[in-house]
Amino acid sequence: AQSVTQPDIHITVSEGASLELRCNYSYGATPYLFWYVQSPGQGLQLLLKYFSGDTLVQGIKGFEAEFKRSQSSFNLRKPSVHWSDAAEYFCAVVRGGGGADGLTFGKGTHLIIQP
């Protein structure tokens, strides 16, 4: 079954510093991959997605992610974080071939921003 692993439960970054959140996936074919952000008590907001094509994808809020098949990774990056980026970040993969299939989420990475 498809799965994603987020190795870092918590990450602390100083405001203005760069950020990289790790995500590794397990899937036989080319996966459909996503990064979502969740603020406390809120729903999930899509940051970016990868289905095929260019392996470097740009998302909202200045985030980008790079798909690396050789490393089974889809790490999320941001060159300079803002205090408002503090939230929970989830990497996700589609369970099946797409369509109306659900998503399998990683355990999440809690991002803390230091002033």
Partner 1 sequence: AAGVIQSPRHLIKEKRETATLKCYPIPRHDTVYWYQQGPGQDPQFLISFYEKMQSDKGSIPDRFSAQQFSDYHSELNMSSLELGDSALYFCASSGRQGIENSPLHFGNGTRLTVT
If one asks whether residue 105 binds partner 1 (CB under 8 A), the answer comes out as yes
Query: Is there a contact between 15 and 81 (Cβ–Cβ < 8 Å)?
Result: yes
Considering only residues 68 through 97, tell me which ones interact with partner 1, judged by CB under 8 A.
90, 94-96
If one asks whether residue 22 binds partner 1 (CB under 8 A), the answer comes out as no
Q: Which is nearer to partner 1, 12 or 14 (CB)?
A: 12
Q: CA–CA separation, 53 vs 8, rounded Å? A: 27
If one asks whether residue 114 binds partner 1 (CB under 8 A), the answer comes out as no
Q: What are the b/e assignments for 80-98, b being 16+ CB within 10 Å?
A: ebeeebbbbbbbbbbeeee
Query: Is there a contact between 30 and 52 (Cβ–Cβ < 8 Å)?
Result: yes
If one asks whether residue 35 binds partner 1 (CB under 8 A), the answer comes out as no
For partner 1, which stretch binds (CB under 8 A), given 12-20, 23-31, 78-86, 105-113? Answer: 105-113
Q: Which is nearer to partner 1, 28 or 98 (CB)?
A: 98
Q: CA–CA separation, 73 vs 106, rounded Å? A: 13
If one asks whether residue 104 binds partner 1 (CB under 8 A), the answer comes out as yes
- Rounded to whole angstroms, the maximal C-alpha distance in the chain is 43
Q: Which residue in the set 3, 42, 80, 84 belongs to the binding site for partner 1 (CB under 8 A)? A: 42
If one asks whether residue 31 binds partner 1 (CB under 8 A), the answer comes out as no
